[in-house]
Amino acid sequence: MEREGREVVVKLCVLWLIMVVHPLMVTLANIEGDALHSLRTNLVDPNNVLQSWDPTLVNPCTWFHVTCNNENSVIRVDLGNAALSGQLVTQLGLLKNLQYLKLSSNSITGPIPSDLGNLTNLVSLDLYLNSFIGDIPDTLGNLSKLKFLRLNNTSLTGSIPMTLTNISSLQSLDLSNNRLSGAVPDYGSFSLFTPISFANNLALCGPVTGRPCPGSPPFSPPPPFVPPPPISSPGNSATGAIAGGVAAGAALIFAAPAIAFAWWRRRKPQEYFYDVPVTEEDPEVHLGQLKRFSLRELQVATDGFSNKNILGRGGFGQGYKGRLADGSLVAVKRLKEERTPGGELQFQTEVEMISMAVHRNLLRLRGFCMTPTERLLVYPYMANGSVASCLRERSPSAPPLDWLTRKGIALGSARGLSYLHDHCDPKIIHRDVKAANILLDEEFEAVVGGFGLAKLMDYKDTHVTTAVRGTIGHIAPEYLSTGKSSEKTDVFGYGIMLLELITGQRAFDLARLANDDDVMLLDWVKGLLKEKKLEMLVDPDLEKNYVEPEVEQLIQVALLCTQGSPVDRPKMSEVVRMLRGDGLAEKWDEWQKVEVLHEEVELAPHPNSDWIVDSTENLHALELSGPR
């Protein structure tokens, strides 16, 4: 009775969160969301890159191409190479915590808003390869933290603001290939180590360009050097002159390489790839067989992270199909994460730990890339995509997954998760187990991927408390209500994935409301079981080509995995044994006997609430046989 009461309270709390708190969050005024929505309305988006920028959800932290910090403030907007046109808006100046703004390689026109000078936390501003017009705003000189300013290959006019020389942190400045005019600020006003390019602005003038500005005196060579008369005696004059000449020649020999290097740094066309240098103060973690890719390699492999190569999108980044120089196909996951001090070393350490999880049913990490602005993971390309895509997004000519393949996927993915939980030290919990993260190789062997949420756990830990992250419909109730995740959180997600595999349905689907069905897959399944409609559970794409007792066994495993209490759920190693026919009957009988004891005190389901439907009543109504 006490346990049932706790489950009812948890379900009611979840319902309250969805029905009350969520609408309040949606209607909460958010200046940053409004600012970005203003940008969306001012841009032409032929490829629907901004389709997730929902105006009713003014908090933009769930939108694609937007990254927020822990305070839900926007710190990054990535819209490079997105085929956008239109104009920027002054409201961008309201993104006070923005650190990275990338709008390069588009067709955006109009002026650069002077309000960008309000973004005092900005580190990188990339607006190159667009069609901007007008002057470079003087206000950009207010960006005291700016390191990278790239406005090349646009149509900017006017003079170069002297205020740019106030930015002491600047590490790269590229204003080449514009229509700028007037005097170029003295190179000496910038940091010695700032790569600068003003090339192909034919109206610029000044000593740097070799063209005198109107009204200024013509350039003249400096007066020849006249050495001071020697102080030595007349008898030593010849010897002193020779010694002086030798010293001067030696000085020129040693100084020439430094002068040439400085000139080369100034004049060399700059590239736009910045990898973290390895220094003695920040040693690189050695990652065994993992390759550390350069950003250039992955840029070339994915055709500049082109939209046509996107394999999938998620809250933690996007995946791109790529072809390396050796011809091998890879999947490049471009992580979307807040960068924190010391995060590089932590990132490499976590990559190293995850890379040590080697199993035939786990996605093998091939390499990684880390720069000041990017974190990327490189995996082998999975020819048959994900289970979700095979179930719901396959082309009409592609055959559906047959029942034998689905059984193999259930067992393979269970083996992979069991290895993470029981054979890694420290153990790894996935925290986002779902059909979209179960990938299929050339032989349709299941490979568990999607480690964007994975966390390492010490064996003495029973849970990790974090902000709740995951996919709706797959999140275990205790994780949703307390923020505590464990290996039993993965077991719950695996159970939902099994139901996806059996039914072909999504874990959360508003379309089911059209038939007055539950939006949550688990509740929808329980409802059909209560009505003794087993045949309606099975994916119609199978066309009844399945073994009914095996379907019942998988449903039993799924329901054991999705019990409300994490203590009652089996371990993944037990799931593997049950899928092989070892112990499922005993587990199922034991569970049913416990539920019979609660039968007299069970509450009847409320007609308008799916949160208090009792799973026991549903299962007794069907009396799944299973292996007896």
346: pLDDT strictly greater than 70: no
Last residue of some domain: 209, 234, 257?
209
Render pLDDT for 191-204 as a digit per residue (tens, 0 to 9).
544 567 788 888 88
Residue 66's pLDDT band, with cuts at 50, 70 and 90, is confident
Do 368 and 390 have their domain in common? no
pLDDT of 90 > 80? The answer is yes
CB atoms within 10 A of CB 272: 16
Spatial distance between the Cα atoms of 203 and 219, rounded to a whole number of angstroms: 17
CATH number for the domain spanning 366: value is 3.30.200.20
Q: What pLDDT shows up at residue 349?
A: 57
Q: What pLDDT score was predicted for residue 468?
A: 56
Q: Where residue 57 sits, what CATH number does that domain have?
A: 3.80.10.10
Do 91 and 205 lie in one domain? The reply is yes
pLDDT in tens, 468-508: 556 677 788 887 777 777 889 999 999 999 999 999 888 88
pTM of the model: 0.51
Measured from the Cβ of residue 438, the count of other Cβ atoms closer than 10 Å reads: 29
Q: In which band, very low, low, confident or very high, does the pLDDT at 350 lie, cut at 50, 70 and 90?
A: low
CB 76 within 8 A of CB 67: yes
Is residue 28 exposed (0-12), middle (13-18) or buried (19+ Cβ within 10 Å)?
exposed
487 and 544 part of one domain: yes
Answer yes or no: do 35 and 181 share one domain.
yes
Strand partners, 291: 367
Same domain for 404 and 538, yes or no, is yes
Domain interval for residue 99:
31-209
Domain termination residue (choose one: 381, 416, 447) = 381
Q: Which of 44-48, 256-260, 557-561 has the highest mean pLDDT?
A: 557-561
How many C-beta atoms surround the C-beta of residue 57 within 10 A?
Answer: 17
The answer as to whether 348 is a domain residue is yes
The CATH number of the domain where 509 resides is what?
1.10.510.10
Tens-place pLDDT, residues 366-377: 888 888 788 888
pLDDT of 538 higher than 60: yes
22 pLDDT tier (thresholds 50, 70, 90):
very low
Residue 610 domain-assigned (yes or no): no
Q: Looking at 181, 209, 237, which one is the last position of a domain? A: 209
11 within domain boundaries? no
Q: Are 335 and 395 in the same domain? A: no
Same domain, 426 and 541: yes
Percent of the chain with pLDDT over 90: 25
Q: pLDDT band for position 603 (50/70/90)?
A: very low
Query: Is residue 525 situated within a structural domain?
Result: yes
Q: Would you name the residues annotated as active-site residues? A: 432
123 falls within a domain: yes
How many domains is the chain partitioned into structurally? Answer: 3
Shared domain check, 78 and 54: yes
Residues 396 and 505 in one domain: yes
**More confidently predicted of 163 and 25:** 163
**371 and 397: one domain?**
no
What pairs with residue 520 in β-bridges?
Answer: 508
Does residue 395 sit in the same domain as residue 445? yes
Within its chain, how far is the Cα of 477 from the centroid? 25
**How many whole angstroms separate alpha carbon 359 and alpha carbon 421?**
12
What does the alpha-carbon distance between residue 519 and residue 512 come to, in Å, rounded to a whole number? 6
- Do residue 169 and residue 75 come from a single domain? yes
Q: What rounded mean pLDDT belongs to the chain? A: 75
Are residues 195 and 218 in contact, defined by beta-carbon separation less than 8 angstroms?
no
pLDDT tier at 133, thresholds 50, 70, 90: very high
227 inside domain = no
